[in-house]
């Protein structure tokens, strides 16, 4: 019998497969498409997920350069610049297109022996007490102990389980995005776009006007991208360069000379109407789980979507592995820990979507919000929110450090590559005892206190002695075996 079947071979499904393989499982990925898609989607990662990818040895693969990630000096929120250089924060960015992320994860999954079956579309499922029978169009069904739906916002797995997907749909906006060229004399020394009759559009930031929103993204290794958003009656016509050019002119109140992209494609040119903010009523139906967009969809503003799904995968992977091995069942904590995070992402993306709308009332609110952003405490709060570094799980244990994503402790980058739980012991006196198969004990004389880290790098226990350690080990890794 298969340990875990994953429906969906995008970045989230592949990340989960890698995590399961690190834990010794034999996952099978069923992907409907016969080859990787060429559609341009996310343009990178934002927040703590960047450090998480680094701790799995994937950051350097994605960047192609050595070294750990560094916090960025600034970001954006609701079309406001968010200066961060004066703050102690964990907002990291990784500007890598989703296609590259998916390719690196597929490569890593292959190294770990993951079975990826393309051209396999899930069409049905039947659960019993011991397993899930997964029906596949035109092929023999397979049986697995667990099934995970990582098959996107229109998830077939979610629909087959009857899990509701409540939320809010907006249908009063239209967004254009396209790869373009612009006259080189319009590009300033800092990458800004200088538009005659309007002024400066800063790079990689949302710029709001009284008529709409525009984004200028001068990528270093490919043609730049221009995106616009307008509100009002749905626009007629097709997603054409002329339509994008006309939309930019309406937003700016000035003509922006946009030319077709250069070089070989595929090139991006699309139009999207409205948007959705939805969170699944539950993340689990007995032996079936939802992951990524199958569990939550929201505005892409601020770039949180792929970050959320990848962290879902790392949270769920080790818990599924522990359940398959019969060590401990903590699977219900997947929803109790990750669903509130999705709710916070939905909250701040909806708030940003309101801040970028046109209109005098929004302009007045933005004036007040700009005053609030001049305060360091406000910027710190928003930086933590956007990074996800304000997330604290309920570990059922005392201690102000418990439940947080582990800081950059000495040697942690290398120690976490294998996806194992770690007991970092500065005094060399602690023993994992019957949990030695699940937890690696590492002497860490440079630390002031001991740490027990779950495989997802969240702190399950900390202390100078052993008080409470065995309780934490039992809760997260079961009674242990000699």
Q: Measured between alpha carbons, how far is 435 from 443 in angstroms, rounded to an integer? A: 16
The continuous run of DSSP H or E covering 106 comes out as helix 98-111
DSSP class of residue 440 equals E
Q: Which of 45, 57, 51 is nearest to 389 (CA)?
A: 51
Peptide bond into 266 cis (omega under 30): yes
Residues of the chain predicted below pLDDT 50: none
Q: Measured between alpha carbons, how far is 176 from 173 in angstroms, rounded to an integer? A: 10
CA atoms within 13 A on the CB side of 101: 27
**One-letter-per-residue 3-state SS of 14-43:** HHHHHHHHHCCCCCEEEECCCCCCCCCCCC
Domains of the chain: 2-166+277-387 (3.50.50.60), 169-276 (3.30.70.2450), 404-477 (3.40.30.120)
The continuous run of DSSP H or E covering 276 comes out as strand 269-279
Question: What are the distances in angstroms from CA 400 to CA 223, 323, 394, 396, 397?
Answer: 47, 29, 11, 12, 9
Indicate the burial class of 377 (C-beta count within 10 angstroms; 0-12, 13-18, 19 or more).
Answer: exposed
DSSP class of residue 236 equals P
| Displacement of CA 159 from its chain's centroid (Å) | 23
Q: Measured between alpha carbons, how far is 369 from 316 in angstroms, rounded to an integer? A: 37
162: region left, alpha or beta (phi > 0 left; psi from -120 to 50 alpha):
left
pLDDT digits (tens, 9 = 90+) for 341-377: 999 999 999 999 999 998 889 999 999 999 999 999 9
pLDDT digits (tens, 9 = 90+) for 87-113: 999 899 998 888 899 999 999 999 999
Our separate counts of H helices and E strands in the chain read 12, 24
* Residue count of the chain: 482
The continuous run of DSSP H or E covering 475 comes out as helix 469-477
At 255 the pLDDT is 96
At 38 the pLDDT is 66
At 250 the pLDDT is 95
CA atoms within 13 A on the CB side of 469: 24
Interacting residues of 316 by C-beta distance below 8 A, sequence separation 6+: 16, 19, 148, 289, 291, 334, 338
At 266 the pLDDT is 81
**How many CB atoms within 10 Å of residue 208?**
20
Question: 73-77, long-range: CB within 8 Å, 24+ apart, which pairs?
Answer: 75/46, 75/383, 75/386, 76/204, 76/205, 76/206, 76/302, 77/302, 77/352, 77/355, 77/373, 77/382, 77/386
At 220 the pLDDT is 82
At 136 the pLDDT is 97
88: region left, alpha or beta (phi > 0 left; psi from -120 to 50 alpha):
beta
DSSP class of residue 445 equals T
Contact criterion met (CB below 8 Å) for 3 and 146:
yes
| Displacement of CA 290 from its chain's centroid (Å) | 15
What value, to the nearest 5°, has the Cα angle with vertex 93 and ends 116 and 335?
A: 55
Q: Measured between alpha carbons, how far is 220 from 225 in angstroms, rounded to an integer? A: 11
């Amino acid at each position: 019998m298969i340990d875990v079947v994953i429906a969906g071979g995008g970045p989230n499904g592949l990340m989960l497969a890698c995590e399961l393989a690190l834990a010794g499982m034999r996952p099978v990925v069923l992907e409907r498409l016969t080859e990787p898609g060429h559609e341009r989607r996310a343009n990178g990662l934002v927040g703590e997920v960047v450090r998480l990818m680094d701790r799995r040895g994937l950051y350097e693969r994605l960047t192609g350069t050595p070294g750990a990630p560094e916090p960025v000096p600034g970001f954006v929120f609701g079309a406001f610049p968010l200066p961060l250089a004066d703050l102690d924060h964990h907002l990291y960015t990784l500007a890598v297109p989703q296609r590259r992320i998916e390719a690196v994860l597929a490569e890593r999954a292959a190294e770990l022996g993951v079975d990826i079956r393309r051209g396999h579309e899930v069409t049905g499922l039947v659960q019993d007490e011991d397993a899930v029978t997964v029906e596949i169009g035109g092929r023999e069904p397979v049986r697995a102990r667990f099934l995970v739906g990582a098959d996107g916002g229109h998830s077939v797995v979610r629909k087959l389980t009857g899990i509701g997907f409540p939320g809010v749909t907006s249908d009063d906006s239209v967004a254009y995005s396209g790869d373009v060229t612009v006259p080189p004399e319009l590009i300033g020394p800092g990458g800004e776009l200088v538009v005659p009759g309007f002024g400066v559009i800063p790079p990689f930031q949302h710029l709001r006007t009284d008529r709409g929103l525009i984004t200028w993204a001068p990528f270093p290794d490919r043609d730049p991208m221009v995106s616009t958003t307008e509100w009002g009656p749905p626009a007629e016509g097709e997603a054409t360069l002329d339509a994008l050019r006309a939309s930019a002119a309406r937003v700016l109140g000035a003509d922006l000379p946009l030319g077709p992209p250069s070089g070989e494609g595929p090139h991006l040119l699309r139009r999207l109407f409205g948007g959705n903010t939805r969170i699944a009523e539950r993340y689990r139906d007995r032996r079936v789980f939802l992951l990524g967009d199958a569990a939550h969809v929201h505005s892409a503003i601020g770039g949180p979507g792929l970050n959320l799904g990848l962290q879902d995968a790392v949270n769920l992977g080790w818990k599924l592995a522990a359940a398959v091995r019969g060590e401990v069942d903590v699977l219900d904590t997947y929803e109790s820990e990750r669903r509130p995070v999705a709710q916070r992402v939905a909250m701040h993306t909806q708030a940003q979507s309101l801040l970028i709308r046109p209109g005098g009332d929004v302009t007045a609110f933005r004036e007040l919000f700009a005053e609030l952003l001049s305060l360091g405490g406000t910027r710190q709060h928003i930086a933590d929110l956007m990074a996800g570094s304000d997330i604290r799980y309920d570990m059922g244990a005392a201690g102000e450090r418990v439940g947080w994503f582990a800081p950059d402790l000495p040697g942690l980058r290398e120690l976490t590559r294998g996806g194992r739980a770690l007991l970092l012991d500065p005094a060399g006196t602690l023993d994992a005892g019957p949990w030695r198969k699940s937890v690696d004990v590492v002497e860490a004389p440079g630390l002031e206190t001991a740490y027990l880290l779950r495989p997802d790098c969240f702190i399950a226990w900390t202390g100078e002695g052993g008080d409470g350690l065995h309780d934490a080990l039992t809760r997260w890794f079961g009674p242990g075996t000699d």
